[in-house]
């Protein structure tokens, strides 16, 4: 059951009608974002995703699902490029 604040977001984004893209396209798009939580970082946001996934792979080589989570963990931030607050 979706809570009240989630319903409008689910209605707007749940159908994926805003834009369709691959994970790689979303990672590239993420590079256009200046992350308010870390604005002084001078490398692309996609680099952070790859770095996180690689760190997890080294620490947990037997958990391939976890490597993927490391890669995907910030992809929701692309919504800031479409007007959502960070």
Domain membership flag for residue 75: yes
Domain membership flag for residue 7: no
Residue-range definition of the domain harbouring residue 42 = 20-82
Domain membership flag for residue 1: no
Phi-psi sector, 13: left (phi>0), alpha (psi -120 to 50), beta: alpha
* Cβ pair 80, 30 in contact under 8 A: no
Phi-psi sector, 4: left (phi>0), alpha (psi -120 to 50), beta: alpha
Domain membership flag for residue 9: no
Domain membership flag for residue 42: yes
For residue range 20-77, list pLDDT tens digits in order: 889 999 999 999 998 888 777 788 999 999 999 999 999 999 999 999 999 999 998 9
Q: Is 67 annotated as contributing to ligand binding?
A: no
Domain membership flag for residue 76: yes
Of residues 24 and 13, more confidently modeled:
24
**Number of structural domains the chain divides into:** 1
Other CB atoms within a 10 A radius of the CB of residue 45 amount to 21
Q: What is the DSSP letter of 83?
A: T
């Amino acid at each position: 059951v979706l809570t009240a604040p989630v319903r409008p977001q689910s209605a707007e984004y749940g159908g994926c009608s805003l834009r369709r893209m691959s994970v790689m396209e979303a990672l590239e798009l993420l590079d256009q974002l200046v992350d308010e939580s870390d604005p002084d970082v001078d490398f692309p946001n996609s680099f952070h995703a790859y770095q996180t996934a690689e760190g997890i792979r080294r620490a947990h080589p037997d958990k391939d699902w976890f490597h993927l989570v490391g890669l995907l963990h910030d992809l929701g931030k692309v919504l800031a490029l479409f007007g959502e607050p960070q």
